[in-house]
Amino acid sequence: MNPRRTLPALLSAALGGCTVGPDYRPPDLASPAQWARAEAGRVDEAPADLARWWSSFDDPVLSSLVEGAVRSNLDLRIARARVREVRALHRVSEAALAPTLDAGGRVARERASQNGFFGQSPAVQQDPEFDSFRASLDAGWEIDIFGGLRRGTEAAAADLGEAEEDRRAVLVSLLGEVGRSYVALRGSQRRLAVLRENEGSARETLALTRARSQAGLATDLDVSRAEALLASVEAQVPPLEAACDEAMHRLAVLLGGAPDTLRAELAKEAPIPVPPPRVVVGLPSDLLERRPDLRAAERRLAAATARVGEAEADLYPRVSLTGAFGLESLDSGDFFDAASRAWALGPAVRWPLFAGGRIRATVEANDARAEQAAAAYERAFLEALEEVENALVGYLREWDRRRALADAASANRRAVALADDLFGAGLVTFLDVLDAKRELYDAEDRLAASDAAIASSLVLLYKVLGGGWEVPGRDGKPS
């Protein structure tokens, strides 16, 4: 450290005050002008209000589950408590800028060493034991000339912002999980209902085949094939029943309850939530404002930047004003006399002239952390863009798949009706009838699964867009 350069800087700072370290400016991240996979027929890039995305499905049960999760979810409760913790730590940081005042007092019976420095006095030689009485007020105030304390408060404020965004990220993730679990439940119930209908049809086919066999119109092979078809359909029932139970259990836990608490409310089959005809997604640049995880990453960068200055301030002197006023006496009778007064007032300076390079190494480490935070923020934005593009592709292509599956199911229904007519006329074998029915069962199951996949893909899209909370400034309300 060069005294010729440092001394003028110290004098200037002491007179006017300064804040060392870099001043934070949010980075300007390049964003695509529009989504690559947005299709005008189903996706609209107009400004999107996704605060209550679940209402677009017009499903009162889903809305009720979302409201219950917001009230009672335990992860959300933990996140809220974390915000309160960091808010208190922010107040602790702000308190460092204020003066301190301590009160103290002491009453003691003491004995002085007669062989010590003060022990040679006649009074101590005559009577080394005595009483002492003391009361004091001690004040202190560090004058934040170089801004180290202000940088610490700035970092703590950014930490608080990050905690708030982390809470919102938990909320976004929670609502997405509630939505997808609910869709999974209704999808499994729908597939199970289709399977039950097919099971009834398979039983009727088996009964008819057995009757025809007894009349000599069908073979034992036909009976075995009908039995195999029924058994195949029945084998698909237990996994779907388990899927329904698992989805109900997941929803109950997300709402802060025991796994079986929602069975009475959700066990009855209901339709799969129907997506709106057009989805409003906004522009890619909106993610920086809407996604809480990106907002949290930006706050982490702000905190890391402030801590560079906080560490750099240790290179310069710390100046404090200290004061003390008290009463001290060896006799309680004259404790409050003017002669018992004691006081001290003056500045104190501490300047680490040599610390083995520790302070500069700390500054360098914090600077490297800020660089990491900047790169992490940029990476998080690119990953967010990727997630939305993938969700858009998944949603739109599932609609294409659903159209093909609907055509296939319609064709299979005609095939079954035609096979029944031809079999009755003796123009096809019974195996042709069974094959047609098996293909119809599979087509109807895939169609039901696709309906659920479309709704689930849309929920995922809302989630990766950051939906589920009100962005401050958009409607004048905080989230």
Give the pLDDT confidence score for residue 13 in this predicted structure: 47
Backbone angles phi, psi at 322, to 5 degrees: -125, 150
pLDDT band at 343 (very low <50, low <70, confident <90, very high): confident
- pLDDT grade for 157, boundaries at 50, 70 and 90: very high
Q: Is the pLDDT of residue 171 over 70?
A: yes
Please state the domain extents for the chain.
18-113+128-464
**What pLDDT, on the 0 to 100 scale, is given for residue 473?**
58
Reported as a single tens digit per residue, the pLDDT across 275-287 is: 998 899 999 999 9
pTM for this prediction = 0.86
Mean residue pLDDT of the chain comes to 89
Determine contact, residues 24/298, Cβ cutoff 8 Å: no
Give residue 118's pLDDT: 64
pLDDT in tens, 369-389: 999 999 999 999 999 999 999
Read off the pLDDT band of 117 (50, 70, 90).
Answer: low
Asked whether the beta carbons of 351 and 315 are under 8 A apart, the reply is no
Mean pLDDT, rounded, for 422-443: 88
Residue 432 has pLDDT above 70, yes or no: yes
SS3 12: helix
pLDDT at 341: 85
Q: What is the average pLDDT across 142-149?
A: 90
Confidence of residue 215 (pLDDT cuts 50, 70, 90): confident
Q: State yes or no: pLDDT of 127 exceeds 80.
A: no
Rounded to the nearest 10 degrees, how much is the dihedral formed by the CA atoms of 65, 66, 71, 73? 90
11-50 tens-digit pLDDT? 444 444 578 999 999 999 999 999 987 776 788 888 888 9
Please report the DSSP string for 389-430 in residue order.
HHHHHHHHHHHHHHHHHHHHHHHHHHHHHHHHHHHHTTSS-H
Tell me the CATH class for 18-113+128-464: mainly alpha
Burial class of residue 408, CB neighbours in 10 A (0-12, 13-18, 19+): middle
> 131 or 341: which carries more pLDDT confidence?
341
CA atoms of 253 and 174, how far apart (whole Å): 11
The CA distance from 101 to 82, in Å, is 30
Contact 19, 309 (CB under 8 A): yes
**Looking at residue 41, what is its pLDDT?**
73
Q: Which residues contact 158 (CB under 8 A, 6 or more apart)?
A: 299, 300, 302, 303, 306
pLDDT at 391 over 90: yes
Residue 142: pLDDT over 70: yes
Give, for 194, the enclosing helix (H) or strand (E): helix 148-214
pLDDT at 112 > cutoff 80:
no
**Sorting pLDDT into bands at 50, 70 and 90, what band is 331?**
confident
pLDDT in tens, 52-99: 999 999 999 999 999 999 999 999 999 999 999 999 999 999 999 899
Residue 35: Cβ-neighbour burial (10 angstroms; 0-12, 13-18, 19+)? middle
- Report the SS3 class of residue 266: helix
- Specify whether the backbone of 351 is left (phi greater than 0), alpha (psi in -120 to 50) or beta: beta
Task: Decide: 40 and 278 in contact? Cβ < 8 Å.
Answer: no
Q: How much is the pLDDT for 478? A: 44
Residues 347-357 have a mean pLDDT of 86
* Cα dihedral sign, 108-109-115-117: positive
Residue 479 pLDDT class (50, 70, 90 cuts): low
Give the model confidence (pLDDT) of 400-431 as tens digits. Answer: 999 999 999 999 999 999 998 998 888 888 88
- Per-residue model confidence as pLDDT tens digits over 249-308: 999 999 999 999 999 999 999 999 999 988 999 999 999 999 999 999 999 999 999 999
As a whole number, mean pLDDT of residues 163-171 equals 97
pLDDT value at 6 more than 80: no
Question: What pLDDT is stored for residue 1 in this prediction?
Answer: 42
How much is the pLDDT for 393? 94
**CB contact at 8 A, 188 and 269:** no
Cα separation of 412 and 442, whole Å?
A: 10
- Work out the pLDDT band at 475, boundaries 50, 70, 90: very low
Residue 172 has pLDDT above 80, yes or no: yes
- Percent of the chain residues topping a pLDDT of 90: 61
- Does 346 have pLDDT greater than 90? no
Q: How many helices (H) and strands (E) does the chain have?
A: 12, 6
Q: Nearest Cα to 351, choosing from 311, 322, 307, 314?
A: 314
Residue 7 has pLDDT above 70, yes or no: no
The beta-strand segments (E) located in 41-85 are 43-44
SS3 state of residue 339: helix
Strands 100-111 and 129-143: antiparallel
Provide mean pLDDT across the span 305-320. 93
Instruction: Please name every residue paired with 346 in a beta bridge, in sequence order, or none if there are none.
Output: 322
CA-closest candidate to residue 20, choices 298, 299, 305: 305
DSSP-based three-state secondary structure for 232: helix
